[in-house]
Structure 1
Amino acid sequence: MVVLSGENIVCITRRPWHSTWKTDQQIMSRLARTNRVLYVNPPRPLREAVRQALGVVSRVPVVSSPRENLHIYQEPILLAGWGRGHLFSRAYNRVAERLRIAHLRETTRRLGFHSPILWSYDPLASWAIGAFGEILFVYSVIDNYDEYFSTGEIWHTRVRASHRELMRRADVVFAVSEPLLQQCLEYNPNSFLAPNGVSFDLFEASMRSSDTPPDVVPIPRPIIGFIGVLHSSIDLGLLEEIAQHRPDWSLMIVGPVEGIAYGDRRVFQRLCSRVNVYYLGAKPPNVLPDYVKSCDVAIMPYRVNPLTFCGDSQKLYEYLACGKPVVSTPIPSVRRHLPLVEIAEYPGDFLARVERALRDGHRLHSERMAAARRNSWERRVCEMSEILLRRLRAATP
């Protein structure tokens, strides 16, 4: 398969490069193997920038280059965002935005990023269109942005307007799920499905090893595992139900806790106090496959809401890469992988599906791994590259 190569890519994102890796970091890290990539970190809140300038946290250069062809941009302190709550912040941010464009444009000139591909993962990046003399504008839609922000009607209106402008003006739109693709097609016929993927080689290497993490060794079997970020979309009540009704099962949870509500924090504390629940905390990405392969059944206990309905969890591909039986709540993107997964269609069905997976889950082991291989990040980049190359050829006079 053909891979995009020899291009300059300016990527506007909502996730700092050194945060937990998601779609944008995975795609850009692989494109940087054959292209030059400038990854633009999101603006820091002014408070964080001031703390950084005062040495409270480590200073970050404007441009760092962790490896060849990959450059990470962080705006200087004077261009940090003020917030979004009041009139002064909006006025300040408008001025800072203009200065940020000028500074970023000068940075691309200094790095020699002439006629780049502009690629956005940020629904608020309409300011960037046309700012860099780009030969192609690509917009990747990885969340339901109509529902993503709930910080006030003014801010929400701004997000919706920018998101729609980006969809309309993009040369190519990639959507991470079928529901999002249908939304994008309403605004741009050049919209394509580009689901998430998996670092398959990393998981395959783990499967060839017999090593078990030391903190997993004493956990009794069977192990029902969730490996992922614990955030507001995770149904902690469902996890508590599993632990309560099946005391002979061990519920293993691996991952950081991020942004859960106060009520959910209380549920999580209560959950972790159960004798058959093992919360092992966050782990480095390179050892996560060892925890996935230690599960007897891997679960996706997502709440079904407008965000998860339009999402495409990377966890599924990671579970499949280890050949593990998977039980999920009824998320549309999971249905693409039937019969390799068990879907609990209603709340009371989840326990029965886990029992079935424990009994019969070994049957489709190789088929699950084959499905994960077909959804590797490398293959996804090739699929996206073919679409972009066709568009570039069509634009060449």
Structure 2
Amino acid sequence: MKPERQPGQSPLTPLPPSSARPLLLCFSHLRWNFVWQRPQQLMSRLARDYDVAFFEEPLFEERPDAVLDTQTVAEGVTVLLPRLPAGLDEAQVAEAQRQLLDTWLAPQSLTSLLLWYFTPMSMTFSVHLQGQMVIFDCMDELSAFRHAPARLTELEHELLARADVVFAGGYSLWKSRTQRHGNVHLLPSGVDIAHFAKAREAQPEPPDQAGIARPRLGYFGVIDERLDLALLEALARQRPAWQIVLIGPVVKIDPATLPRLANLHYLGARPYAELPAYLAGWEVALMPFAMNESTRFISPTKAPEYLAGGRPVVSTPIHDVLNRFDGNGAVLIGATPDEFIAAAEAALQLAREPWQVVEKVDSLIKNMSWDSTCELIREQIECQR
């Protein structure tokens, strides 16, 4: 378990001593202690070469003044969390964050400053910073998400104009951004192969999953507007003997809208370290994404994770899934409920001979590791800084 952040820590807390390494200041729309995915995978590895400061979106509280909490969450990684008074307008929010950030940066002994953006919204308070290099990691089409800020598209245009390099988290994003920037690199999400390969061996059954009958078809990840809830309900209704396990936090949608059937099991969020144990208890892994604007550009991290765990995957026809995995035999596609169920039937048959799945996926995922991805990133940074 990661330590809890202590509120009210000094805004002047410097980074731990280092051998004069560059500071990689990362602006993220996702919290470090949220679902472990691309930002955490990349920053925890890049911290081997850079001091990483991970600047999160603010929390608004009943408090008289703004404060910047700091927490060391991994070797070389410091999370910076602005806590702001409730009721500030947009301009005041930006100014408060700018002051907190500038105050924190002032005592740092910087050899060089690298600016990494996961979200263009951070431009509102950081555009004045003069980094040796500006990096935009376009991991999602954030403007297509529910409740996207009105200025997001405008600020992305500004960020693309400033960025020295752009990394795209999927083929669709890469194709879109190559029309708007001259140095865009396709870097799909990777996989911690050794971590998820644990699911290929017998694991102690998590207590909350142990009592669920088989066969089990599972999903882990955020449960939000990108999931096709109608498809999930049809799957559960038409195959009542199948047990569908969903692991992850419910975000941006009303939990009351989730289908509730006896064979649908919502287990809530679980730590990243525990996911292989859950995966080991499934016959088939699911990616029941809706086909809408919010999924048009996604390149799901979980696809290679499922495959590394030796599980066949059933997905809706997400463009980047088709581009990356279709035809390898371990990822089966279904667009309609009937097609999805037929694909799941075939996947369950495939799961009876797991060695077939392993043969199909090992050659595919061997070059998809996060370590390989970070090596490519380091090359780009060091060649341009």
TM range (shorter): 0.7 to 0.9
Given the alignment, which residue of 69, 79, 93 partners 2:76? 69
Measure the CA separation in 2 of the matches of 1:97 and 1:129.
9
Task: Tell me if the contact between 1:327 and 1:357 (Cα under 8 Å) persists in the aligned partners.
Answer: yes
Residues 374 and 82 of structure 1, relative CA distance in 2, 3 Å threshold? farther
Q: Displacement, 1:290?
A: 0.9
Aligned to 1:201: 194
Aligned to 1:111: 108
Encode CA deviations 1:20-58: one digit per residue, 9 max, x unaligned.
22321221111112211111111223xx3x26x79xxxx
Measure the CA separation in 1 of the matches of 2:87 and 2:359.
51
Aligned to 2:7: none
Q: Displacement, 1:130?
A: 5.4
Task: Tell me if the contact between 1:105 and 1:131 (Cα under 8 Å) persists in the aligned partners.
Answer: no
Residue identity matched to 2:346: R
Task: Tell me if the contact between 2:43 and 2:52 (Cα under 8 Å) persists in the aligned partners.
Answer: yes
Measure the CA separation in 2 of the matches of 1:39 and 1:378.
19
Aligned to 1:237: 230
Given the alignment, which residue of 39, 54, 60 partners 1:24? 39
Matched residue SS, 1:291? helix
Task: Tell me if the contact between 2:167 and 2:186 (Cα under 8 Å) persists in the aligned partners.
Answer: yes
Please, which moves more after superposition, 358-367 or 138-147? 358-367
Aligned to 1:381: 374
Aligned to 1:172: 165
Aligned to 1:328: 315
Aligned to 1:189: 182
Encode CA deviations 1:154-195: one digit per residue, 9 max, x unaligned.
x52x21110111112200011111111122112111011111
Residue identity matched to 2:22: E
- Which structure 2 residue ranges, 5 or more long, are not aligned? 1-19
Q: Displacement, 1:301?
A: 0.5
Q: Displacement, 1:209?
A: 4.5
Aligned to 2:325: 337
Task: Tell me if the contact between 1:116 and 1:132 (Cα under 8 Å) persists in the aligned partners.
Answer: no
Task: Tell me if the contact between 1:64 and 1:72 (Cα under 8 Å) persists in the aligned partners.
Answer: yes
Measure the CA separation in 1 of the matches of 2:194 and 2:73.
22
- Counterparts of 1:119-268 in structure 2 under 5 Å? 119-127=116-124, 131-148=128-145, 150=147, 155-156=149-150, 158-261=151-254, 265-268=256-259
Matched residue SS, 1:224? strand
Encode CA deviations 1:97-121: one digit per residue, 9 max, x unaligned.
2343243123123122342111011
Aligned to 1:395: none
- Tell me the percent identity: 29
Aligned to 1:9: 24
Encode CA deviations 1:187-221: one digit per residue, 9 max, x unaligned.
11101111112222222244344422233333322
Aligned to 1:282: 269
Q: Displacement, 1:287?
A: 0.8
Task: Tell me if the contact between 2:287 and 2:313 (Cα under 8 Å) persists in the aligned partners.
Answer: yes
1:390 aligns with 2:378: no
Aligned to 2:50: 35
Matched residue SS, 2:208? coil
TM-score (norm 2): 0.85
Residue identity matched to 2:315: S
Q: Displacement, 1:347?
A: 3.7
Encode CA deviations 1:295-354: one digit per residue, 9 max, x unaligned.
111111010112212011122121111110000001011111122310113342111111
1:354 aligns with 2:361: no
CA RMSD of aligned residues (A): 2.5
Residue identity matched to 1:19: F
TM-score (norm 1): 0.83
Measure the CA separation in 2 of the matches of 1:109 and 1:356.
59
Residue identity matched to 1:14: H
Residues 114 and 97 of structure 1, relative CA distance in 2, 3 Å threshold? farther
Aligned to 2:10: none
Residue identity matched to 1:333: D
Residue-pair matches, total: 360
Encode CA deviations 1:241-282: one digit per residue, 9 max, x unaligned.
111111222222222222224xx72443x33xx2x3333332
Measure the CA separation in 2 of the matches of 1:373 and 1:304.
29
Measure the CA separation in 2 of the matches of 1:68 and 1:304.
39
Residue identity matched to 2:348: L
Measure the CA separation in 2 of the matches of 1:373 and 1:111.
39
1:311 aligns with 2:311: no
Residues 82 and 144 of structure 1, relative CA distance in 2, 3 Å threshold? farther
Residue identity matched to 1:71: T
1:302 aligns with 2:289: yes
Measure the CA separation in 1 of the matches of 2:24 and 2:51.
6
Residues 191 and 129 of structure 1, relative CA distance in 2, 3 Å threshold? farther
Aligned to 2:9: none
Task: Tell me if the contact between 1:115 and 1:132 (Cα under 8 Å) persists in the aligned partners.
Answer: no
Residues 256 and 99 of structure 1, relative CA distance in 2, 3 Å threshold? closer
Residues 346 and 122 of structure 1, relative CA distance in 2, 3 Å threshold? same
Q: Displacement, 1:61?
A: 5.7
Residues 207 and 112 of structure 1, relative CA distance in 2, 3 Å threshold? farther
Residue identity matched to 2:288: P
Bigger share in helix: 1
